Chain A
Amino acid sequence: MQSNITLQSILPALPEIYLAAAICVVLLVDVFAGAAARRITPTLTLFVIAFGVALTTFVVAAPTREVLFSGMYVADPLATFLKLLGFLFTGVALLYSRSYLEARGLLKGEYYVLVLTALLGIFVIASAGSLLTIYIGVELLALSLYALVAFDRDSGIAAESAMKYFVLGAIASGCLLYGMSLVYGMSGSLLLGDLAVRLHGEPSIGLVMGIVFLVVGVAFKFGAVPFHMWVPDVYQGAPSSVTLFVASAPKLASFAVAFRLLAGGLGNVAPAWTQMLAIVAVASLVLGNVIAIAQTNLKRMLAYSAIGNVGFILLGFVAGTERGYEAALYYTVAYVIMTLGAFGVILLASRAGFEAERLDDYQGLHARDPLLALIMMALMFSTAGIPPFVGFWAKLQIFQALWLVGQTWLVVIAAAVSVIGVFYYLRVVKLMYFDAPTDQSVRAPSNAGVRVALACNAAAVLALGLFPEGLLSLCAKVLS
């Protein structure tokens, strides 16, 4: 297993190496810049991300699959795709967050460093070649997120939700690790590539035990029912900018964990986990969409909507086919784009001393800020899965993948649930467009740059809906 490490041989891992180095640089610059740090760090972070995108695109992007570090690390088109998206989504999230953080005195260097370490965790998961790599990535991501959720340290509700997240997350990590140890015991290898070869046929009872714990861990990371309890509290309790981040890029990591672990390592014993996942998915769909109706807080409503949408992503894995994974990936990407926009609207509608998070705060938004209302409407219809927006194709992909493997009932349930889901998205549109504003104060639109970015975000949702082919074939390409 001894191999010579040369510069050439570690080149595919450049995104991680670069990001780790960049984190150190950002941290040091922030410490030594003193009072100027408030201006320098955010900009520097965006530069780090932009340069990272360039680096990943032009230096790393490998058309083939390469395995490094004795199989611990995999560089393939999927990993590159997820990393590029990770950079992109994180950059957008930070762009949307800046003025929000500034208005609340939260604009500190640590925030940016923590976001970047979370991103590093996502990268590690995206390229994971062994159970251990997955675990390291998951922990790196989770620990950064715990700290971020508690970032507003004077806020009681934020501290409470961080605590809940941490305790539940620690249990889930324990489950994941325990499952990994069982699978290791049954197979004798930590490498996902070996697992795929060694585990096939009828699984032993020990292996099934291991898979149960792994599925619990994965379901927790996704926030799927019945391991969803942290989602509403974290979404509501965390500062909105943190919620924006938690709801976006880490979903890529959830996809990557599920794909590398279940589809990759345990792909040949798929029947053992697809059934469990089917139950989890249906429970998420139903519970997420039904309970979202009862919410009065927009962030909490979007949390339940996230649970429902995760149900759809998991259904792609339930199909257990190439088509299903494509559908899951496409759904994940589409969903994150929509979520970024929705929380971006929440951030922009908030101002110093006022959190626009109750649904009533959006009453008559159209009269006060037509552009923001229009953007939100597009995002709501898209998330509900109505054409001509991208969310429709995401759902269609899942339906097709399930139909192909003959899961008729899952298709019917998913379709029926998506009708229930439409109701609470429509309610947001109703509040914005049909109701008269209660808050008559008209503010001069600020943050012109962020508004343009947000408009582009919504335009992307429409453009991807009118011309879905590009992203669809890209998802198919990176998975083949």
Chain B
Amino acid sequence: MQGIGLLSLLIWLPIAGGVALLALGDARIQIGRWLALAVSLATFVASLSLYTGFDVTTSAFQFDERAPWIPAFDATYHLGVDGISMPLVLLTTFITVPVVIAGWKVIEQRAAQYFAAFLIMEGLMVGVFSALDSLLFYFFWEAMLIPMFLIIGIWGGPRRVYATIKFFLYTFLGSVFMLIALIYMYLKTGSYEVTAFHALPLSRTEQFWIFLAFFAAFAVKIPMFPVHTWLPDAHVEAPTGGSVVLAAIMLKMGGYGFLRFALPIAPDASRELDTLVIILSLVAVVYIGLVALVQSDMKKLIAYSSIAHMGFVTLGAFLAFDIHAATGDLRGAGMGLDGAMVQMISHGLVSGAMFLCVGVMYDRLHSREISAYGGVINRMPIFGAFMVLFAMANSGLPGTSGFVGEFLVILASFKANFWYAFLAATTLVLGAAYTLWLVKRVIFGPVANDHVAELTDLDGREFLILGVLAIGVLALGLWPAPLLEVMQPSIHHLVEQIVATKLPV
């Protein structure tokens, strides 16, 4: 190992910044805010060289770092990214910047700790995406719960304690079973290396249990129906920044887990159980979409829409088996996975932006009820424009990033089974229905009450963060090629891994 690697920097710089902020304390919060912003910006700028230095011709792990960590457990400090994890790392470092800016004035209580928690979490999340040693992965995966637990619990809404403990226990319960599976494979291979697990031949029974263990962890995290109930609670109670990070990044860890662990480690079990996952995903798309329609709380509506959108991720990921069986075409099988990846990145931007929009309104009126609003556009025209744009992206309008992922997944499901495609495509109706109806009730119409009449439009800070996200949403929608290009070799490699059997001959 030579010096400190880029990925290590991306992990430990924000964590060090967070610790420094804690040491500064609330008394010097003026400096603290700028420090938080500087650290998050520096991390983002540094992470850009992941993209510029990325070799798009290979599926191998890049920016590889390896150092001894715990020889007693044969665990190493091994980091690296491929085309699947690199975009997610960039998403993490990118989203943290608007989150810091969004909390600039709003958070008055214990502000130093607030920013510190987000910075520490940023480091841990980058760690999750870049760890190539599964013990290190688990280490980051669990450690991340602590700052999120505190963020919801300290700065959350009235039912924050219930929500945060539910969040913690739900995700922890799922994760411990994953740990057991990891230990099992460690004892078989003698190392915690992810790539060693990929290469490990496993019998049908072994794969079945290992898949279930991973499924418990990732289905809760992503979250899939029926273990999604923690998410609406957590989202509603979390402060704006917490909701953004939850929706934009934490949910993606479930998807990432499927792509990195569950699918390539237990491909045969995944093939056997893919119908189950697909059905649960379709339930999420259709049923949760209907649930979203009847919400009266804006945050809850977006939370349910997140679950429906993440249903597309799991759907796209598990379609590959049916497509391969039906057509024998590897590239076609990869299309669902492509869609899942694009959907994850796009949803990160769009849901983050939607939660920030709700935050903007909440800061002014201190209500999340849809009925408390109406005709906002009359007083906040610029904000209204942004909100409409993000709502369009959320319902998958062509030209926005939301369209690309959904379109790819629906296209892929046509190759697998017409009825999958039919049900998946209902999202075009449902998504449009709940999002546009939300916009209609909140943004348009006559000014509903005196409170709305007193609204003031975006200030420079808010304009900046929404503007940046809007550019991201449009750029990804109009020209997704750079993203697709980056992940192409890794997705292709993944497809090859999962269509090959791992059963011992």
A interface, CB within 8 angstroms of B: 381, 386-388, 392, 396, 399-400, 403-404, 411-412, 415-416, 418-419, 422-423, 426-427, 429-430, 433-434, 468-469, 472-473, 476
Contacting residues, chain A, for B176 (C-beta < 8 A): 415-416, 418-419
B496 within 8 A of A: no
CB-defined A-B contacts under 8 Å, sample of 30: A386-B145, A387-B139, A387-B140, A387-B142, A396-B73, A396-B179, A399-B183, A400-B183, A403-B180, A403-B184, A403-B187, A419-B173, A422-B168, A422-B169, A422-B172, A423-B169, A426-B169, A429-B149, A429-B153, A433-B150, A433-B154, A434-B153, A434-B154, A434-B160, A434-B164, A468-B70, A469-B69, A469-B71, A473-B71, A476-B72
B186 within 8 A of A: yes
Of residues 143 through 195 on chain B, the ones whose CB sits less than 8 Å from some CB of chain A are 143, 145-146, 149-150, 153-154, 160-161, 164-165, 168-169, 172-173, 176-177, 179-180, 183-184, 186-187
Contacting residues, chain A, for B173 (C-beta < 8 A): 416, 419
CA distance A477 to B427 in the complex (A): 60
Interface size on B, residues (CB 8 A): 32
Shortest C-beta distance, A403 to chain B (Å), equals 5
Q: Are A388 and B139 neighbours in the complex by a CB distance under 8 Å?
A: yes
Q: Are A386 and B146 neighbours in the complex by a CB distance under 8 Å?
A: yes
Contacting residues, chain B, for A404 (C-beta < 8 A): 187
Known A-B contacts A415-B176, A422-B169; the reply to A434 vs B161 at CB < 8 A is yes
B51 within 8 A of A: no
Chain B, Cβ-Cβ closest to A399: B183
Q: Are B177 and A386 neighbours in the complex by a CB distance under 8 Å?
A: no
Contacting residues, chain B, for A415 (C-beta < 8 A): 176-177, 179-180
Partner of A403, one of B160, B164, B183: B183
CA distance A123 to B160 in the complex (A): 49
B138 within 8 A of A: yes
CA distance A329 to B183 in the complex (A): 20
Chain A, Cβ-Cβ closest to B155: A434
Q: Are B139 and A399 neighbours in the complex by a CB distance under 8 Å?
A: no
Contacting residues, chain B, for A418 (C-beta < 8 A): 176
Contacting residues, chain B, for A399 (C-beta < 8 A): 179-180, 183
Q: Are A419 and B169 neighbours in the complex by a CB distance under 8 Å?
A: yes
Chain B, Cβ-Cβ closest to A471: B72
Other A-B contacts than A400-B183, A426-B149, A433-B154, 17 sampled, CB-CB below 8 A, are A381-B146, A387-B138, A387-B139, A387-B143, A388-B143, A403-B183, A404-B187, A416-B173, A416-B176, A419-B173, A422-B169, A423-B169, A429-B149, A433-B150, A468-B70, A469-B69, A469-B71
Chain A interface mostly:
helix
Tell which of B142, B143, B176, B187 has the most Cβ of chain A within 10 Å: B176
CA distance A386 to B172 in the complex (A): 9
B462-490 vs A, CB cutoff 8 Å, 1 = contact: the mask equals: 00000000000000000000000000000
Chain A, Cβ-Cβ closest to B139: A387
Shortest C-beta distance, A124 to chain B (Å), equals 30
Contacting residues, chain B, for A386 (C-beta < 8 A): 142-143, 145-146, 172
Shortest C-beta distance, A58 to chain B (Å), equals 27
Contacting residues, chain B, for A472 (C-beta < 8 A): 70, 72-73
Contacting residues, chain A, for B146 (C-beta < 8 A): 381, 386
Q: Are B169 and A469 neighbours in the complex by a CB distance under 8 Å?
A: no
Q: Are A423 and B179 neighbours in the complex by a CB distance under 8 Å?
A: no
Partner of B180, one of A411, A427, A468, A473: A411
CA distance A149 to B180 in the complex (A): 41
Contacting residues, chain A, for B143 (C-beta < 8 A): 386-388
Shortest C-beta distance, B26 to chain A (Å), equals 10
Shortest C-beta distance, A412 to chain B (Å), equals 7
Chain A, Cβ-Cβ closest to B209: A408
Contacting residues, chain A, for B140 (C-beta < 8 A): 387
Shortest beta-carbon contacts, A-B, top 10? A472-B72, A415-B176, A434-B153, A387-B139, A387-B143, A419-B173, A387-B142, A469-B70, A388-B143, A403-B183
CA distance A427 to B139 in the complex (A): 22
Contacting residues, chain B, for A433 (C-beta < 8 A): 150, 153-154
Shortest C-beta distance, B242 to chain A (Å), equals 14
CA distance A403 to B168 in the complex (A): 26
CA distance A476 to B70 in the complex (A): 13
Q: Are B72 and A430 neighbours in the complex by a CB distance under 8 Å?
A: no
Partner of B183, one of A396, A419, A427, A473: A396
CA distance A430 to B180 in the complex (A): 28
CA distance A429 to B164 in the complex (A): 12
Known A-B contacts A468-B70, A469-B72, A472-B70; the reply to A426 vs B180 at CB < 8 A is no
Shortest C-beta distance, A399 to chain B (Å), equals 5
Shortest C-beta distance, A330 to chain B (Å), equals 9
Tell which of A387, A388, A433, A476 has the most Cβ of chain B within 10 Å: A387
Of residues 96 through 151 on chain B, the ones whose CB sits less than 8 Å from some CB of chain A are 138-140, 142-143, 145-146, 149-150
Chain A, Cβ-Cβ closest to B160: A434
Shortest C-beta distance, B137 to chain A (Å), equals 11
Shortest C-beta distance, B180 to chain A (Å), equals 6
CA distance A469 to B184 in the complex (A): 21
CA distance A424 to B72 in the complex (A): 31
Contacting residues, chain A, for B168 (C-beta < 8 A): 422, 426
B40-64 vs A, CB cutoff 8 Å, 1 = contact: the mask equals: 0000000000000000000000000
Partner of B72, one of A416, A423, A473: A473
